[in-house]
Amino acid sequence: MSIEVTNVTKKYGDFYALDDVSVSLPTGQLTALLGPSGGGKSTLLRIIAGLDTADSGTVAIEGTNATRLPPQKRNVGFVFQHYAVFKHMTVAKNVAFGLEIRKTPKAEVRRRVDELLELVHLSQFADRLPSQLSGGQRQRMALARALAVEPTVLLLDEPFGALDAKVRKELREWLRRLHDEVHVTTVFVTHDQEEAMEVADEIVVINQGRVEQVGSPDELYDEPASDFVMGFLGEVTRLGPVRLRPHDVEVGVTPGRAGAIPGTITRLLRVGFEVRLQVELDRELGGGADPVSVVLSRSHARSLDLELGSKVWLTAAVGAVTVPAMVAV
């Protein structure tokens, strides 16, 4: 295990940012710390980097107890949401900073910087100042700077959070490919479940200072350990006694299937190839007064001839992921 976090607690006044968190992050993998804002994921990342200290508990990096080590001695690369560029230095100087601190010979520094700028596609910008780069370019420069010192682990704190949607999507694919080539153990913090699912080998879901679940994207999606994880990883609706994903609700236009609950379509919205329905149930079952959300493909909706006001019978699809619905939250 590359990073071993054991029983870490961090309090700000009365507020538990992290409450007895233990997590092992395997070597060479790309792990996402996923959770809502203020859930403690950034705090955990900063504690791993040594930028914050835990009130109790230990952090080990590659078998070395790092709990009391200052950030300078942990050999971690850290990438910040807002880039944290050294704005008075050129791109090349920024990347070279960590190497110069380590008294690396000049020729070696040049070689490494050239190599890294090539890696992040900024070779032609080597002599620019960071203020002359776009956000995405600045973040790639920050990544090259962090990688320059050959860190044991690379930590990214909401690395794409400040970028616009398109650049964000490009960069996350690029990060995945970069990781496949460089293979440095990488942990990144995100509150975007799509980003985590798309990029990470493993996801750690953190909420209210606790680890909710650890697993691969598929495991989390298919076998959510809690209501929270299920709700955070995708849309959830309630059908009778269970909660399930809107696309796992089967729609029939005739009664007859076992356990089918009748209802009326009160809203019908087409978004691209998807059709989203809101179905008002005819009778109350297990106390769910809210309408059921259903998502189905456009062709499927057309084949059923669904319209506003149509009478439908709903069941949970075979093999659907369901969790028992909790009584009114």
Binding flag, residue 177, another protein (CB under 8 A): yes
Over the range 122-137, which residues count as b (16 or more CB within 10 Å of their CB) and which as e?
beebbeebbeebebbb
Does 166 sit near another protein (CB under 8 A)?
yes
**What's the number of CA atoms in the CB half-sphere (13 Å) around residue 121?**
10
Give the rounded distance of the alpha carbon of 17 from its chain centre.
18
Instruction: Name the one range near another protein by CB under 8 A: 10-18, 79-87, 286-294, 299-307.
Output: 79-87
Residue with tokens 């955990």: 44
Run of H or E including 306: none
Tally of CA atoms within 13 A in the half-sphere of 129 that contains its CB? 5
Angle at 91 between CA 90 and CA 92, to 5 degrees: 90
**Location of structure tokens 């070779």:** 123
DSSP-assigned letters across all residues of 276-294? EEEEEESS-STT--SPEEE
Binds another protein by CB under 8 A, chosen from 89, 304, 320, 323: 89
Determine if 222 is a binding residue for another protein (CB under 8 A): no
Site membership for another protein, residue 234 (CB under 8 A):
no
294 binds another protein (CB under 8 A): no
Distances (CA, A) of 65 to 11, 27, 271, 274: 21, 16, 52, 51
Single out the segment in contact with another protein by CB under 8 A; choices: 20-28, 65-73, 185-193, 290-298: 65-73
Query: Counting contacts by CB under 8 A, is residue 68 touching another protein?
Result: no
**111 contributes a contact to another protein by CB under 8 A:** no
**Does 66 engage in binding with another protein (CB under 8 A)?**
no
- Residues binding another protein: what is the number (CB under 8 A)? 50
Instruction: From 191, 185, 200, 234, select the one nearest 42 (Cα to Cα).
Output: 191
Structure tokens at 88: 């008075």
Q: Does 10 bind another protein (CB under 8 A)?
A: no
- Per CB under 8 A, the list member of 115, 201, 227, 274 interacting with another protein is 115
Q: Which position among 18, 44, 49, 281 is part of the footprint of another protein (CB under 8 A)?
A: 49
Determine which helix (DSSP H) or strand (DSSP E) holds 246, and give its type and residue range: none
Among the residue ranges 129-137, 254-262, 296-304, 307-315, the one whose residues contact another protein (CB under 8 A): 129-137
Tell me the C-alpha distance between 125 and 141, whole Å.
Answer: 10
Stretch in the footprint of another protein (CB under 8 A) among 56-64, 84-92, 310-318, 321-329:
84-92
Which span (7-15, 178-186, 219-227, 274-282) binds another protein, by CB under 8 A?
178-186
Q: How far is the CB of 284 from another protein (least distance, A)?
A: 51
Smallest gap from residue 130 Cβ to another protein (A) = 10
Nearer to another protein, 87 or 270 (CB): 87
Q: Which two tokens stand for residue 84?
A: 């944290």
Helix (H) or strand (E) holding 49: helix 41-49
Binding piece for another protein, criterion CB under 8 A, among 26-34, 140-148, 199-207, 261-269: 140-148
Q: Are strands 202-207 and 30-34 parallel, antiparallel or unpaired?
A: parallel
Residues that bind another protein (CB under 8 A): 49-51, 70-72, 74, 76-78, 80, 82, 84-89, 93, 97-98, 101-102, 115, 118-119, 121, 125, 128, 132-134, 136-137, 142, 145-146, 148-149, 166-167, 170-171, 173-174, 177-178, 180-182
